[in-house]
Amino acid sequence: MELIAAPMASSGGGSGITLLLPLILIVGMIWFMSRTQRKQRQRQADTVAALQPGTKVVTTSGMVGIVEEVDDDYVTLEISDGVLVQFAKAAIGRVIPDEVDDSTDEPAADDKVEDKVADDEAEDETPVADEARPTVDVPETGDSKAQGKPKLPPTHTES
């Protein structure tokens, strides 16, 4: 018995590229993700560096406050009248932009005339009758007109 070694059919010279393609894709994805994270860290560092007293911020945990003092590592926020809390600078998530109020204290003469006309038109409308509104019977109070009152959750008592 004689064994003859036959060469296997090859797919050509493309086998090297098919092995490198997934590797190139993985390296590209890792580079793109690290680039995105680097940009995000830079934005966070710029936000923290720009903190000044009076700036309204939101922490990463969702606490909203106004910056009172900025130290090297910590930021003191006023979360309520007279309530000061210290946070690490890294805990500052974003700055809430100040709302620009373009209105003046005294409206112009033209605005007064338009407001007067709008008020006169509003007074001419007849109010909707109470019977036309749907009502909800609330068993706890027996009041059939308790539509605007919030319903309290049930309380559970142990027996």
End-to-end CA distance of the chain: 93
Q: Is pLDDT larger for residue 93 or for residue 145?
A: 93
Give the pLDDT of residue 113.
47
Stretch 105-134: mean pLDDT:
51
Under DSSP, is residue 76 helix (H, G, I), strand (E, B) or coil? strand
Under DSSP, is residue 62 helix (H, G, I), strand (E, B) or coil? coil
Give the pLDDT of residue 7.
60
Which of 85-89, 115-119, 130-134, 139-143 has the highest mean predicted lDDT (pLDDT)? 85-89
Q: How far apart are CA 113 and CA 119, in angstroms?
A: 10
Stretch 11-20: mean pLDDT:
71
pTM confidence score: 0.44
137 pLDDT tier (thresholds 50, 70, 90): low
Q: How far apart are CA 54 and CA 49, in angstroms?
A: 14
Stretch 43-55: mean pLDDT:
87
Query: Which CATH number is correct for 17-95, 2.70.70.10, 3.40.50.150, 2.60.40.10, 2.30.30.30?
Result: 2.30.30.30
Q: How far apart are CA 41 and CA 46, in angstroms?
A: 9
pLDDT, tens digit, 9 for 90 and up, residues 53-63? 998 999 999 99
133 pLDDT tier (thresholds 50, 70, 90): low
> What is the phi/psi pair of residue 58, to 5°?
-120, 130
8-state DSSP, 130? G
- For the ranges 68-77, 82-91, 129-138, the lowest mean pLDDT is seen at 129-138
